[in-house]
A and B are shown apart, each in its own frame.
Chain A
Amino acid sequence: MGTSAEQEYAAFEERVSRTVYFDNLSPLVTESVLKSAFEQFATVKSVTLIPNYTGPSNFPQCALVELDSAKKVGEVLSMVKQYPFMICGMPRPVRARQAEVEMFDERPVKPGRKITCRWLEPSDPDFEVAKGLKRLTCKHAAEAAYLAKLQLGEEEKLAKQQMDTLKGHYKKYELIRSIIADGNAQALAERYNLPVSNKRLFNH
C-alpha cells in the first residue's frame, strides 16, 4: 500500500468529520426527504440510509448525512440538540451525533494495519478462556437484544400516553367548536349575562 492508500484514507476521514449520523428516523424518511430537510442549513453532499438487516423491523431508521464542512456539522448538531427537530411526523424528534468511521459500510482499509489471527486447539491452555469469551459474546448479544426490546417497550408506552393526551385535547376542542357552531355557547352567555362574544371564543 503506497501513499495513495493513505491519501484515500485521509480523504475518507475528512468525509467522516463532515458527516452527521441521525437515528430515530421514521421509515417514511427517504434520502430526498433528508436532503431537503437539511438543505435549509447547509449544503448536503450525500445521504446514505443505513440498512437494518438484523434488528427488529419496527426499529427506527438511521442515516448518514454528509455536509459541506465540519463547521456545519457542529451547527446542525447543536440545533438538533436545542430544538426538537421533526422529520416526516411528530412529535418524536430525530437524534443526531457526529459520525464515526464504524458507521460507514463502505470505507477504505486503514493503511498499514495488519490483522493477525490464530487457531486455538482444545489442547491449548487458553482454550477454556476462549470458550468463556465466546459465551460472553453470546450473552452480551442477548443482553443487547433484550435491552433493545425494553427500549421499544418504553417508546411504545410514551407514544401511547401521548396519543391519549392528544385525543383528550382533540375531544375538548371538538366540543368547544361544536357548541360555538350550534349557538349553544352564545345562548348560555346570554342566559348568564356573561360578556362572551363569538370573537373572543374563536380567538382562544
Chain B
Amino acid sequence: MPGSSEADIEDKIDIKWGNKRGVGGKNRDIQFYESFIYDGVEYFLYDCVCFYSSGNLETNIGKLVKICEKPTREKIVKVVWFFRPIEIRDFLGSYKPCWNELFLASGEGKGVSNFNLVETIVGKCSVVCSSNDKRNPEPSESELKKADYFFNCTFNVGRLKIVDKFPDEIDGIKVENLFNKKKDQNISNPPHIGTSIKQLNERSRLSSKLGQVVENAAVDGHFGSGIQPVEKESKEGTAVLVDKIPASNHKSISRDKGVIKKSTVPSGSCQDEDKPDVRSNENVLRKNVVDSFPYKKRMALEENSPIRRRRDPTAEEDFDDRRRKTSREVKPEIGEAKAVKRLKTSGKMMEVTGRPDAPWEDRLQRAEQLGTLVLLNNLDPSYTSYEVEDLVWHALNEKVEARKIEWSSTFNPYYGRALVIFRTKDAAVGAISMLSKRSLILGDGRIVTGMRGSLRDLGKQTTNFIGHLSIGRYKSQTKRLSDDVRNAVSTAHCSQTNTIEYGMALEWFELQYKTDLWWKALNEKQMKEIENVKTRLEGTASSSSQIE
C-alpha cells in the first residue's frame, strides 16, 4: 500500500471502532477490534457482508473473521468467502444447488480467505446455515425464509469438492463461529440510533447500483458495455481505494484458477445461464419491496447518503443523467435480445411479490430440509398429481403441491404413492398425525398413510453402474467414450452371439427373470394379505364425501 494514500483514507472514510480485541503483528502495532461502524452500519465479527467486485454484476459475500487497523491506518477485514454456485459450477458434479444457496470456502489453498479494505464493503447480507451439524444452532423457519442466502455445504478449494461435513476449523477459525450465531449473541437490530435508516440507504444504494447496470444495458444496447458504468463509478467514487488494493486482495482466486468461466459456457447441470443475473436482480428488488420506499424517496435518501456526497460531482451528474434517460425509456427497442430479456425480467420482477418458482427438485429438497415434505402411501395408483392435491385439500384443508411417484418395478403396483409439499412444517406434521390418529378411507377401502418424506441424496449420483464393466487399458477408452461421444449411436447396440458380452448379457437376462419372479411372488403375497384384512371392513363407501 502506498503510504501517501493514508491521508486520503483518513479524510474519506468515517469508521468508528468498537471494542478492542487486542494487538498483534510483528511489532505489535496492529489493532484488532470486535466491531466497527462504517457508513452508518455496525459490523461485528462473523457478520456476513457483501463486497464490491469490480466488473462483476454480483457482489462477493463473505464472513468477517478479523477486523484490524494497520499502523498505516489502513482498515482491513479478513474475510472467509462464500462461493456462489455459478463460481464453482465445474465442480458441482450432480449437486443441484438451490437458487439462493452458497458454499462456504474450506480446505487449504487460494480462495478461502483474504484481507480486504473496509471500504470495499457494500452492506450486510443475511446468510443462514441450514446444516444439521450438531454445532450449528438450528435456524428457525422464519429465519430461513427471511435470509438472503443459505449454505449447507462447504466447498473445499484444495480438493475442489463440495463437502457436506464441516471441518473443525476453516482457515484457523473455529467452525462454531462460522455457523449461525447463538440466539443470545445475535444482534439483529443495529444498536445505534439512526443506523437503521442508514442501512436502508445502504441497501438502496446497492440496489440502485445493480439496477443501474441493468438499465444501462438497455441504453447502451448491449450488455457488455452496461457493465462499465459500475466500474467507472467505482473508480471515481468510493472505490478509488478499491483500485489501490492489489489484485490479490480481490476475491480473484477462482479466476486465477480458471474456476469461473464466462457465462457463455453451457452450464450443464448447474442452472440456467441467466439465472444468476436474474437472481441478483430479484434479490435487489425483493429488498426494495422490503424497504417499501417509493422510488423518489429512495432517491432522496440516496442523495443524502454519505457515500454519494463523497463522490466526484461530475460523475454523479453523469449517473443521474443516465438514470433519467433510462427511466423515460421504458421499453427499449434496441439492444441484443439478451439485454432486452434481462430488462424484461427485472421489469417483471417488480410486480412479483413472492419469489419465482424454483425448479421442482430444488423445492423438493428445500421442503425436505424444512420438514414440509410428506410421503403419502396407499393412494389409488391411477390418481394424478392434481387429484392428490384435491384430495389433500378436501380431507385436510391444506393447499399443497403434490407429485405422484411413478410406477416402479421394485414396488407393489397396488400402492400409489405421492410426494406432497405442505406450506408449513406445522401443516405437514399436523397432516401426518391426523392420518395416524384418525383414518382417511378412500372409496375403494384404501387407508391413506402419511409419513415424513425423505429423499435419497439427490446430489449423489453414482456414475459407476453395477453390471457395466470395463477393464485394463480399455478402461480409459470407455471412459472417454462416455464423456465425449455420449450421444453417438455407437454407445447403443445389440449384442452379437459370438462375443463374451453376449454370454454375460444372458446371465443378466436370467437374473432379471429371477428377480421378476421374486417381485411377483412378493406382490401376490401382499395382495392376499390386503384382501384378508380388507374383507373385514364394513361400511366403506356408505357415507364418503365426494371430491369434485
Interface residues of A (CB under 8 A from B): 23-24, 26-28, 30, 32-33, 35-40, 50-60, 62, 79, 83-93, 95, 100-110, 113-122, 124-127, 129-134, 136-138, 140-141, 143-144, 147-148, 150-152, 154-156, 158-159, 162-163, 165-167, 169-170, 174
Contacts and interface: CB of A to CB of B under 8 A. Distances in A.
Nearest to B373: A53
A58 B504 CA distance: 21
19 contacts: A24-B512, A33-B487, A53-B458, A54-B417, A58-B466, A83-B494, A86-B501, A90-B501, A103-B406, A115-B380, A115-B443, A117-B440, A117-B448, A120-B447, A133-B446, A158-B507, A158-B508, A166-B504, A174-B472
B410 A151 contact: yes
Interface string B447-468: 1110001111110111101111
B390 A115 contact: yes
B469 A166 contact: yes
Given A86-B501, A117-B395, A57 B440 contact: no
Contact of B539 (A27, A102, A126): A126
A170 B546 contact: no
Interface of B: 361, 364, 375, 377-378, 380-387, 390-391, 394-395, 403-413, 415-417, 419, 436-443, 445-449, 453-458, 460-463, 465-472, 478, 482, 486-489, 491-495, 500-502, 504-509, 511-512, 514-515, 518-519, 522, 526, 529-530, 533-534, 536-541, 543-548
A86 B533 contact: no
A114 B461 CA distance: 40
Nearest to B375: A54
Nearest to A108: B384
Contacts of B436: 134
Given A53-B458, A125-B538, A158-B511, A92 B466 contact: yes
Describe A's contact surface by its main secondary structure: mixed
A63 B228 CA distance: 47
Describe B's contact surface by its main secondary structure: mixed
A116 to B, nearest CB: 4
Contacts of A132: 533, 536
Nearest to A127: B439
A110 B381 CA distance: 12
A44 B507 CA distance: 29
B492 A116 contact: no
Contact of B471 (A84, A130, A158, A166): A166
Given A55-B408, A101-B382, A116-B443, A27 B533 contact: no
A147 B522 contact: yes
B80 to A, nearest CB: 31
Nearest to A148: B410
Contacts of A105: 385, 403-404, 406
